[in-house]
Each structure stands twice: as C-alpha cells, then as structure tokens.
Amino acid sequence: MSIFDDPALFGRLWAATYDDPGNPDPAPAVDFLAPLAGPEPVLELAIGTGRVALPLAERGLAVEGVEASEEMVAVLRDKPGGDRLPVAIGDMADVPVDGPYSLVFLVFNTLFNLTGAGRQEDCFRNVARVLAPGGAFVIETFVPDPADFDRDEQVQMREVTEDSATIRVHQYDRAAQTFVRQTITFDRDGVHLHPFAMRYAWPEQIDAMAERAGLRLAERYADWDRSPFTAQSRTHISVYRREA
C-alpha cells in the first residue's frame, strides 16, 4: 500500500502553510458557488482550513464539510466561525455523510489527490448518493497538458537562500496518468521531505465518471468568472447535476 493512499497525508504535511498568501483568492469561487445552493445544506469535500467554506457560511449558507486531516480541521476551528461548521473526519471518496445536499463542491484540483484505483469513481458515485434531486456537484481541476510531462522525470529549482536550498522532483507514469512529486529542502537542520502525488484526468474522462454515477454535465467554464471553456483552456469549472 502506498503512503499516498492515506487520505490524511496531504493535511499532515501542508496544514501549517496551506493558507499562505500565494494560494488562490477564494472570492471568485465563493461568488460562483453561492447562487447554486438550494434549500438544503451544502457540502465541501476536502474542506481543509475553510478558505471557501467560511466565506460561504458568512453569506448565510448552511455549510458542512468532509476532511481526512485533523490538522487541517484544527486550523479551521481556530478561525472565526470555524467552530460552527460540522465536519466529518474521513476520506472524501467515501463521502461519509448522509445529506441530502443541494450543492457539493471539490475545488483546487483536489479530485486528482485521489490516486488509488477507482477512488475518483467512488467519489462521484457517493456524491450522487447524497445529492438532492436536481442538486449540483462542482469541481475545479487543471486540464492536463502533455507538454508539461514530456519526460518521465523532471527536476526544478524552487528556492535558494544563504541557509537553504529547495528542489522539486517529479516522476511521471504517463500510461497510468499519475505522478509523484517530492519537494526537498536542505538546510542546517537536515533534509526535509514533502511528498505529493496525483492521478490526473482530462475533462472527457471526468465526464465519463460522472455519467456512470448518474450525473450529467450541465455547465463548464474556463474559470470561476464563467469565461468560455475552449480547447486552449488550462483549467475548468464543471457543474454536474443529479436528475430531478
């Protein structure tokens, strides 16, 4: 069993820095998602530190979450209003809640964090189970670009200071549509490792997962501002609906 099959791994490694200023502004996602909510509560899979969930709750939505990492949830609980959001600790692929929800969302490429065989499909099937009739499942992912992984291995320099050096190493399995990434920092205290892995998919492959789960693609955009999705788009926001 791979360490990347542990759904709490990402949070254990990244919770302390997940809210760094370099991460995307959640406001466009909040503006997009809020009008999609119906009378039932809404659910964020991989709610993390609440970057999207808390602003939605401030708009009066009843927001719940699923999160595998207790470290992430601890950061959420320390924020204003964070102690009022119900969060189920568990694997987002299992969607360990009952619903029904008018809206379920999974943002910032996190669908691809499900690297185990069939786990992305499990996520779609379990989302369909908890969605209210007519409810929406919204995902945000990048569109894979083969030019980004034209070699099986890549090494990148990330940062060099007088006290440390950080490099990032990728190894791709293009047939399996997976990669393993290791961010390695060398400093006076030793060597620090931050592993990460993804199983990426093209939009049409994601659509097929949704269809098998009983969800249909209702809308697709290139970004949260609803720019048209084209063959040149590098990200997509996709809205799937459960039939009413």
CA distance 220 to 199: 21
Place of tokens 């379920």: 104
Count Cα atoms within 13 angstroms, Cβ side, for 178. 13
CB 128 within 8 A of CB 94: no
CATH number at residue 189: 2.20.25.570
**pLDDT by residue (tens digit) across 171-211?**
999 899 999 999 999 999 999 998 889 999 999 999 999 99
How many domains does the chain contain in total?
2
Same domain, 66 and 138: yes
- Amino acid, res. 25: D
Q: Mark whether 164 and 208 lie in a shared domain.
A: no
Q: In which residue are the tokens 């490099």 written?
A: 167
Which DSSP category does 228 fall into?
Answer: B
Q: Which of 167, 170, 171, 150 is CA-nearest to residue 158?
A: 167
- What span, in angstroms and rounded, lies between the C-alpha atoms of 46 and 136? 17
Q: Assess whether 159 and 136 both reside in one domain.
A: no
CATH at 94: 3.40.50.150
Encode pLDDT of 41-77 as tens digits. 999 999 999 999 999 999 999 999 999 999 999 999 9
C-alpha 14/C-alpha 146 separation (Å) is 27
Domain identity same for 74 and 137: yes
| Residue pLDDT, tens place only, 5-27 | 788 888 787 788 888 877 889 99
Do 108 and 170 reside in the same domain of the chain?
no
CA–CA gap between residue 198 and residue 66 (Å, rounded): 19
150 band by pLDDT with thresholds 50, 70 and 90: confident
pLDDT computed for residue 146 by the predictor: 85
Same domain, 62 and 159: no
For residues 31-41, give the mean pLDDT: 97
Q: Are 84 and 119 within one domain?
A: yes
From residue 59, alpha-carbon distances to 32, 49, 54, 119 in Å are 13, 18, 9, 32
Please indicate, yes or no, whether residues 114 and 126 belong to a single structural domain of this protein: yes
> Which tokens hold the place of 65?
């979450």
40 Cβ neighbours under 8 A, 6+ residues apart: 99, 100, 101, 102, 132, 135
Cα separation of 199 and 91, whole Å?
16
66 and 184 co-located in one domain = no
Q: Are residues 97 and 87 in the same domain?
A: yes
**Contact yes or no for 75/19 (Cβ under 8 A):** yes
Q: Helix, strand or coil for residue 28?
A: helix
Domain extent for 165: 146-198
Q: What are phi and psi of 43, to 5 degrees?
A: -130, 130
β-pairing, 153-160 vs 164-173, is: antiparallel
Give yes or no: residues 55 and 77 share one domain: yes
**54/108 same-domain check:** yes
Nearest Cα to Cα of residue 111 among 178, 184, 47, 201: 201
Query: Is pTM, for the whole model, over 0.85?
Result: yes
